[in-house]
Amino acid sequence: MIKLSKFSSIFVANWKLNGNLSFINQYLDSLKVNPSQLNCVIICPPTIYLNNFNSILKNCYLGSQDISKFESGAYTGEISSKSLNDFGVKFCIVGHSERRQYFNENNNDIKNKASKLIKNNIIPIICIGESLKQKNENKTIEVLSYQINNSIPSESNQHNTIIAYEPIWAIGTGLTPTIDEIENLHYLIRKNNIKIENFKILYGGSVNLQNSREIINLTNVDGALIGGASLKIDEFNQMIA
Ligand code: PGA
């Protein structure tokens, strides 16, 4: 498993359902990752393209956007953690709000997925986040703690699991909490949930070239999960530089 403690910042490019072969070729030609020991850059293309990156990626890691909660068997269309491992995948996003919302994933599914990943030496990036309604009802901390308690498997620790805090209302909207709110929430996430106090905790939701430096430099933020802006290679190069 990759040694997470050596990184000061982690950048995850979540391509979602975007990109094709020619896009990948152009992207890889232009991607500039410093061979720094301090930054960890993880590219998560659609699953079908994972093998196109294998052995080509230099100075960065391959991640998947999702995985089956099952190990093997009669589960048509599923892909197992073990297969990801065969293809050199080191990280996997689980419990993204789009999976929770559009594919009815619940905390238990997410826990099972994370558990299978850890078993196969892949680091799960477990996503948590509140909706706008929950935020407006002042339920953010309660919602996050519930997700943390119910979607993180018991075998998770700071060496084998990453958390990504992504307010649902900030994803793809161009809206973000203020810098102070992000720092405060990350602080509270750690303080209220001793189990994950020392975990790497990333922020996600409308991270872009304008706000990334300030967010990444926050004391309690260990990196960023970047969707839309990670598809713009010039912008992404500048963010990870
Ligand atoms: P965004 O997406 O950066 O486009 O808001 C983030 C995510 O969904 O992980």
Give the active site residues: 96, 166
- The residue with tokens 């706000």 is 211
Ligand 1 — pocket residues by CB below 6 A? Answer: 14, 166, 171-172, 204-207, 225-229
- 108-126 pLDDT, tens per residue? 999 999 999 999 999 999 9
- 70-100 pLDDT, tens per residue? 999 999 999 999 999 999 999 999 999 999 9
Separation CA 71–CA 192 (nearest Å): 33
Taking the CA of residue 207 as reference, the ligand 1 atom at the shortest distance is 3
| Ligand 1 centroid – CA 74 distance (Å) | 33
What pLDDT shows up at residue 225?
A: 98
Maximum Cα–Cα distance for the chain, whole Å? 48
- Locate the domains of the chain by residue range: 4-240
- 161-200 pLDDT, tens per residue? 999 999 999 999 999 999 999 999 999 999 999 999 999 9
Q: Which CATH architecture has domain 4-240?
A: Alpha-Beta Barrel (3.20)
Checking phi first, is residue 71 left (phi over 0); if not, alpha (psi -120 to 50) or beta? alpha
Number of other CB atoms surrounding residue 194 within 10 Å: 8
